[in-house]
């Protein structure tokens, strides 16, 4: 909008001027979207639906007999679905209003539901192994899984510390805001690790191979996971991670 447009807007009746301002806001919000964003979102969410095959496998194979183990695939798959949604809902935001709304959804999905779910799911498998006196972290799935949990805890502290109480934990203001790019980069790397860990457990664990056919494992824990990663990365905004 040039100077003449601004002068013209000032001369408009209050109601009409408000309509112009509203239209300008709508233009700004629509500009947040980018070609391919919708495709990326649908691909990622479709993968989440397929990944919930883990829940079906558990429920149709006597979950009571599986004991505490039954909670592990159920809660981990729920957590990954929520992590995916939490990332997708915040990715395209660039205006103050949409950023605030996106951050709220992001925290509800990841921090208040997703994190407790994956923590309880991890605790369930640890407790199950304890009850059966089984060795911990023998497989790469187990090793990467516990490493991911530690990383998630750091990620939560990094992200929360940069926004809670005005980012006081990192000095507040621009000092705290400068942490966001590291939180984002770390989050994208962590997300890829979580998907790979899920692939190892869902496609190659003894339990999964016993109760699900190879075709299902390839689709749900192979193709679907790759599609999800591609879908999320398609919506990535490098402009939000300027390191120099």
Whether residues 5 and 58 share a domain: the answer is: no
pLDDT at 35 exceeding the cut of 80:
no
Q: Yes or no: say if 94 and 239 are a contact pair by the CB < 8 Å rule.
A: no
Whether residues 10 and 109 share a domain: the answer is: no
List Cβ<8 Å contacts ≥24 apart for 58-67: 61/211, 67/128, 67/131
Whether residues 118 and 187 share a domain: the answer is: yes
For 47-51, 87-91, 106-110, 217-221, which range has the lowest pLDDT when averaged over its residues?
A: 47-51
Task: Assign 3 a pLDDT band (cuts: 50, 70, 90).
Answer: very low
Among 110, 113, 109, 89, CA closest to 101: 89
Whether residues 126 and 20 share a domain: the answer is: no
According to DSSP, residue 239 is labeled G
Total tally of structural domains belonging to the chain: 2
> Which is more confidently placed, 80 or 1?
80
Among 117, 101, 108, CA closest to 85: 108
pTM: 0.82
Sign of CA dihedral 138, 143, 144, 146: positive
Whether residues 102 and 66 share a domain: the answer is: yes
Whether residues 83 and 141 share a domain: the answer is: yes
pLDDT at 55 exceeding the cut of 60:
yes
Whether residues 110 and 170 share a domain: the answer is: yes
> Which is more confidently placed, 110 or 219?
110
Burial class (CB in 10 A: 0-12, 13-18, 19+), 3: exposed
Distance (Å, rounded) from C-alpha 83 to C-alpha 74?
14
Residue range(s) defining the domain that contains residue 18: 1-31
pLDDT tens string 185-214: 999 999 999 999 999 999 999 888 988 889
According to DSSP, residue 69 is labeled G
Whether residues 19 and 50 share a domain: the answer is: no
Q: What's residue 242's pLDDT?
A: 72
pLDDT at 20 exceeding the cut of 80:
no
**Rounded mean pLDDT, 36-58:** 70
Distance (Å, rounded) from C-alpha 146 to C-alpha 130?
15
The proportion of the chain whose per-residue pLDDT surpasses 70, expressed as a percent, equals 80
Neighbouring C-alpha atoms within 13 Å toward the C-beta of 226: 5
pLDDT at 98 exceeding the cut of 90:
no
Whether residues 27 and 124 share a domain: the answer is: no
Distance (Å, rounded) from C-alpha 244 to C-alpha 240?
12
Distances (CA, A) of 184 to 7, 112, 140, 159: 41, 18, 26, 9
Whether residues 87 and 166 share a domain: the answer is: yes
**Rounded mean pLDDT, 56-85:** 86
Whether residues 23 and 42 share a domain: the answer is: no
We report the CATH number of the domain holding residue 222 as 1.20.120.1770
pLDDT at 126 exceeding the cut of 90:
yes
């Amino acid at each position: 909008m040039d100077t003449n447009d601004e002068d013209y807007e000032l001369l408009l009746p209050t109601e009409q001027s408000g309509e112009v301002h509203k239209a300008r806001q709508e233009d700004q919000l629509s500009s947040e979207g980018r070609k391919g964003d919708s495709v990326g979102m649908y691909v990622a969410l479709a993968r989440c639906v397929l990944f919930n095959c883990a829940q079906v496998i558990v429920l149709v194979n006597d979950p009571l007999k599986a004991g505490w183990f039954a909670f592990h695939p159920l809660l981990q798959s729920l957590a990954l679905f929520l992590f995916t949604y939490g990332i997708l809902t915040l990715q395209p935001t660039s205006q103050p209003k949409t950023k605030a709304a996106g951050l709220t959804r992001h925290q509800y999905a990841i921090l208040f539901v997703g994190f407790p779910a994956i923590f309880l799911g991890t605790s369930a498998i640890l407790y199950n192994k304890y009850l059966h006196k089984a060795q911990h972290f023998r497989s790469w799935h187990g090793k990467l899984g516990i490493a991911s949990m530690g990383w998630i805890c750091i990620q939560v502290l990094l992200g929360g510390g940069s926004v809670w109480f005005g980012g006081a934990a990192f000095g507040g203001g621009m000092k705290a805001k400068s942490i966001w790019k590291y939180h984002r980069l770390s989050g994208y790397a962590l997300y890829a690790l979580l998907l790979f860990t899920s692939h190892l457990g869902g496609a190659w664990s003894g339990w999964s191979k016993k109760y699900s056919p190879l075709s299902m494992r390839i689709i749900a824990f192979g193709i679907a996971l790759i599609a999800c990663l591609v879908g999320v990365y398609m919506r990535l905004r490098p402009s939000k991670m300027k390191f120099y």
